[in-house]
Amino acid sequence: MQAAIYPGSFDPLTFGHLDIIERARARFDRVVVAVADNPQKHHLFSVQERMDLVRKCLPAGKDIEVDSFKGLLVDYARKKGINTLLRGLRAVSDFEYEFNLATMNRKIAKEVETVFLMTGESSFYVSSKLVREVASFGADVSAMVPEPVSAALKKKFGI
């Protein structure tokens, strides 16, 4: 049984995340989408809202679990008994951060391996940060996020 954890802020979920999840789903028996509950980071959506949006947008199936985690990711991975972490890479600019993160995680838990999937060609420009920014000014983000996320953004910004 090959399982992987896909951790992230998902603030909010985008088509970029969904593309990674769908491709991972085709390659792993089980994918755990793990929403980071980090009180030190200022999020637009609460952890509960972020999880609810992921659940709304993901085609249901026994092979997908949506969960949240606090603290060290590798501790969470150990608790789940899963030693593969999944991350997405968009551009060279993602590389340095992801490389450092993966190396750090391997230093503190050598059994944990990070696997990278390249962004899908239609979502290489999509990031939660940019989506939040443009949505706050009323831009139509329906090409970047699923409908429930678009609706939640409009509600959040009172548009």
In angstroms, rounded to a whole number, what is the distance separating the alpha carbons of residues 113 and 58? 25
Q: Which of 53, 88, 112, 145 binds ligand ADP (CB under 6 A)?
A: 88
Q: Give me the helix-helix angle, 47-57 and 147-156, nearest 10°.
A: 150
Q: Find the shortest distance in angstroms from Cβ 14 to ligand ADP.
A: 6
Q: Find the shortest distance in angstroms from Cβ 69 to ligand ADP.
A: 11
Could you tell me the two tokens for 120?
A: 């899908």
Query: Is residue 8 within the footprint of ligand ADP (CB under 6 A)?
Result: yes
Q: Find the shortest distance in angstroms from Cβ 131 to ligand ADP.
A: 9
- Residues β-bridged to residue 3: 30
CA terminus-to-terminus distance, the chain: 45
Residues recognised as catalytic: 17, 41, 90, 128
Query: Is residue 119 within the footprint of ligand ADP (CB under 6 A)?
Result: yes
In angstroms, rounded to a whole number, what is the distance separating the alpha carbons of residues 159 and 151? 9
Residues 12-51, mask of contacts with ligand ADP (x by CB under 6 A) = --x-xx--x-------------------------------
Of 128, 95, 106, residue with least CA distance to 18: 128
- In sequence order, which residues have a C-beta less than 8 Å from that of residue 24 and are 6 or more positions away? 4, 6, 31, 86, 117
Query: Is residue 114 within the footprint of ligand ADP (CB under 6 A)?
Result: no
Q: Which residue is nearest to ligand ADP (CB)?
A: 16
Interface ranges with ligand ADP (CB under 6 A): 8-10, 14, 16-17, 20, 87-88, 90, 94, 119, 123, 126-128
